[in-house]
Amino acid sequence: MIQLIKIALVFIVILISLRYKINLGVTLAIAALLLLLFSAVAPIESLKIVIGTFGDYSNLNLMANIVCITILGNVLSYTGQLNLLVKSTQTLFKDPRLVSLALPALVGILPMPGGAIFSAPLVEASRTSPHTQGEILAFINYWFRHIWEYFLPLYPAILLVSSLSGLPLPWIVIHHLPFFFLAIIGGWLVVRKMEVENSPDPPGKVNFYEIIQPFIPLIPPVLVVFLGIPIWVGGMIGLILAIFLGKLSFSQIISAMFQNFPWSIMIDVAGILIFKTAITQGGVLQPVVDFMISQNMPVILLGLVLAFFIALVSGLTSAFVGVSFPLILPLLSLASLEKAIPLLYIGGYLGIIFSPTHLCLILSCRYFKTDIEKVYRLLLWPSILVFSWGVIWYFI
């Protein structure tokens, strides 16, 4: 119980810091140290865990991915290729608002850590009006990028759910599909209010190469995901293609790459990685999990609270599935399991959506220069709508 209170206090400090626009990266680094100290981890060991964050290959790889994708986005914006890409997408949709939704959704088909920074420039280039508020754009970039993670087997969490529950993967996919459709509906209810100015004229005869050409620099970062190659490698190849297609001089290349480089985003990323390392390696959550299990709560309620809490604190889908499901699923019969899985998954995933340590949320808010609480307000009702399917299925 005491450990739960300590974690709650640290979490409140994070939310207050966000409210008063204190640098998130610095806040999370300090919060990580506090959590480790509250968990009786020795100061020297706590420091080693924090420093070890930047010796971990996966963390360094993620930071390299974000740097390369950010630079690629800068170059595509500088050369006007982002605008061409949006115009190409407009040939598929009559409503310009659908273009804004489609771009992050297409990027989100593949699991790409920190991929919100990949789709953000596309959403910016596709804005339907210069007066569109930043929180709307951040919502679009964040929400529609994640509509696939409810059911698509390309995402490891879905595979993990099937493996831990013993339920066939097709069963998981079919019973989670309603989350996907409700997410689209809920997102559209927010986006349909967007102001539309200068709606594009229907395209005339368009050359196929003119449609495909703007997408060429984006193909390598997506392709490498299938090949198991680090995304930054694909980002570098895409950057070379963008420079070649944009016919940039050396001075233009330097200006395009670094003129608007978001250094503040990299500080945020570093802070998030430090916080997550403290959560996963410091044994911070285990006393809380043990306490909740000891309270004799109804199994489904215990599962929902555990999944939501772990997701909210960690911001990691794999964490809430990997920690809460092995504890809860053995307590359920097969019939109860089939009723409970969608509800437990969406309960945890709501924690992911609202987690202030979720990298995609922070990147979206930072890129569009908006406050996280404004985006929270937009997320609320679509999230409730998606959650409703888990409840409906459980009680059918």
Helix (H) / strand (E) containing 101: helix 96-108
Q: Cα(256)–Cα(75) distance, rounded to whole angstroms?
A: 5
Q: Cα(162)–Cα(155) distance, rounded to whole angstroms?
A: 12
Q: Determine contact, residues 191/383, Cβ cutoff 8 Å.
A: no
Picking from 194, 164, 215, the residue whose alpha carbon sits closest to that of residue 332 is 164
H helices of 192-249, in order, are 208-212, 219-227, 231-246
What are phi and psi for residue 132, nearest 5 degrees? -60, 130
All residues at 6 or more sequence positions from 87 whose CB lies less than 8 Å from its CB, including other chains: 200, 214
| Terminal Cα-to-Cα distance of the chain (whole angstroms) | 35
Q: Determine contact, residues 242/81, Cβ cutoff 8 Å.
A: yes
What pLDDT shows up at residue 122? 84
> In which residue are the tokens 């989670």 written?
176
Digit-by-digit pLDDT tens for the chain (396 residues) are 676 777 778 778 777 777 776 777 788 888 888 888 877 778 888 888 888 888 888 888 878 887 887 788 778 777 777 777 777 776 777 777 888 888 888 878 766 767 788 888 888 888 877 778 889 999 999 999 999 999 888 787 888 888 888 888 899 999 999 999 999 999 999 988 777 765 555 555 555 566 677 778 878 887 886 777 888 898 899 889 888 888 888 888 888 777 667 677 778 778 878 887 887 777 777 777 777 777 777 888 888 988 898 888 888 787 788 778 877 887 777 678 889 999 999 999 999 999 988 888 988 998 898 988 999 999 999 999 999 999 999 998
- Domain range summary for the chain, segments of one domain joined by +: 2-194+207-395
What pLDDT shows up at residue 212? 74
- Which amino acid appears at position 141 of this protein? N
What pLDDT shows up at residue 185? 96
Q: Determine contact, residues 324/307, Cβ cutoff 8 Å.
A: yes
Retrieve residue 32's tokens: 């990580």
Picking from 103, 134, 139, the residue whose alpha carbon sits closest to that of residue 368 is 134
What pLDDT shows up at residue 128? 72
What pLDDT shows up at residue 181? 96
Beta-carbon count within 10 A of 133 CB: 15
What are phi and psi for residue 200, nearest 5 degrees? -65, 145
What pLDDT shows up at residue 262? 66
Q: Cα(336)–Cα(328) distance, rounded to whole angstroms?
A: 11
